Structure 1
Amino acid sequence: MDKGTAIRTIVLAIALLNQFLVSLGLYKIPGTEEEQTAFLSTVFTFISATVAWFKNNYVTQKGRAQKEALQRHGLTK
């Protein structure tokens, strides 16, 4: 797993945990009301999930094989 994939996975896990805690009422962002906390948490989760989904995360065996093929042909950064 490359560094970018690991970072996106960790951020997504944090967002999902945050969303879970907010839904149970166990977490509140200081200086906000409950509705604002839920909204901000939902936005954070949506953005991190979208980025994690959109990026080409080579996590499966097929994905890693694709990445290796791209690297052999010089088609990646």
Structure 2
Amino acid sequence: MKKYDKGTVIRTVLLFVALLNQILVACNQVPLPLTEEQIEGTYTVISTLVTSVLAAWSWFKNNYVTKKGQEQKVVLKREGLKK
């Protein structure tokens, strides 16, 4: 059985849950018992903010966007560990 990086699994699960929640909000199906005013205002804003932050976090952590990440990519390619 493959051993997955714990951070990657956590980021993926959190992003999936946030995206699912965002889809439900877009379809006016809120999984929490809230009033219409709460859904229209605070919940939608917080849900969108959380989804955006998690998406940015997942993208940043899984790509070589920092200087250190670029250096790691070069080493991985040189060692034949990355295409």
Return the TM-score normalized by structure 2.
0.61
Give the secondary structure class of the aligned counterpart of 2:10.
helix
1:39 aligns with 2:42: no
Aligned 8 A contact 1:22 1:38 in 2:
yes
Pick aligned residue for 2:18 from 15, 19, 23: 15
Q: Which one has a bigger Cα radius of gyration?
A: 2
- Identity, in percent, stands at 42
The separation in 2 between residues aligned to 1:14 and 1:24, in whole angstroms, is: 15
Unaligned runs of 5+ in 2: 64-72
Matching of residues 38-77 of structure 1 within 5 Å: 38-56=44-62, 66=76
Give the secondary structure class of the aligned counterpart of 1:26.
coil
Aligned length: 60
What is the match of residue 75 of structure 1? none
The separation in 1 between residues aligned to 2:20 and 2:49, in whole angstroms, is: 14
Q: Which structure would you say has the larger RCO, counting Cα contacts within 8 Å and 6 or more residues apart? A: 1
Which 4+ stretches in 1 moved above 3 angstroms?
28-31
Q: CA RMSD in A?
A: 2.2
